[in-house]
Structure 1
């Protein structure tokens, strides 16, 4: 899909909104027991990743997503909204300790990432934004980039197989 450069104002606005959202999140955490640090494998003796990284990650993802806007007519809002809702659902299910629902939503996310173009920047941003309220920005970014890579790779493979099917050997 062809892309166009976003107007500078739109790029700055999206970065500032992402920075505001992450600042509000971290402010809430700071006032309710301190900014959370997520340790590898949930073991305190292993290194941890602070939610403060979200101050860098969220604006960077917003800049990436808004700088790669599809041309008019493409439903970019849907590519943002669906992953956002899935991320929020996963966060809510996890925080409510609904393990079966968390697993179902995770596998639904994986399935949708293989069927839909989840490799687009707006999809990664929506997914990370939805999950960052529970998990911080680092883990959802890693998971979102993994899902984006799977989506991109599988969709590219299917496209190549489809194109080769129609051409003579």
Structure 2
């Protein structure tokens, strides 16, 4: 019972810590923008005739998303560890997803800023391949993907983008990936069977 209470306290401490760090970072970015030309706004789909979303919304949405997504991640890890999986391995997997999401978000933002259209044109394919390998719909990937793109796009547009991709990721990882694995296993077992005489 005491262990469960301690775990619950650790989880809430993690949520507070992560949310606090993200809040400080996003508010620092907004203050910096305010004193360097004003708070940026981003038009939906980069179309001037569509509404623009101010980066001020990032100051509200990113801390709320952090609180929500860190909570989801902690609950999933807690549930999986209670089912016998190694907590340490689950934390390492979460860290890998965290770093991968951040890296991809930063790559997309940097490519957009510098006009690397060759990379940007292939993002749907990269995401599709990535979703066959890792669960891009896990909370830690989603959170860091949004965080990695916030400086360039604000938090709202990346949030919409990654939630759409996460739906594709669920279908790919949960249904297409197992079918590919099963087919591969069948092909390998067929190749290893010695030919009948």
Q: TM-score, normalised by structure 2?
A: 0.72
In structure 1, which of residues 144, 158, 167 is the aligned counterpart of residue 162 of structure 2? 144
Residue 109 of structure 2: aligned partner: 91
Higher RCO (CA < 8 A, seq sep 6+): 1
In structure 1, runs of 5+ residues without a counterpart are none
1:31-110 correspondence runs (5 A) = 31-67=35-71, 68-69=73-74, 70=77, 71=81, 72=87, 73-74=89-90, 75-105=93-123, 107-110=125-128
- Write the distance in 2 (CA, Å) between the matches of 1:41 and 1:8: 37
Residue 24 of structure 1: aligned partner: 28
In our comparison, the structure showing a higher alpha carbon Rg is 2
In structure 2, runs of 5+ residues without a counterpart are 1-6, 82-86, 184-197
CA RMSD of superposed structures (Å): 2.4
Most deviating of 128-137 and 19-28: 19-28
Count of aligned positions: 161
> Cα distance 1:107–1:99, how it changes in 2: closer, same or farther (>3 A)?
same
Higher share in helix: 2
2:108 partner SS: helix
Q: TM-score, normalised by structure 1?
A: 0.83
Residue 124 of structure 1: aligned partner: 142
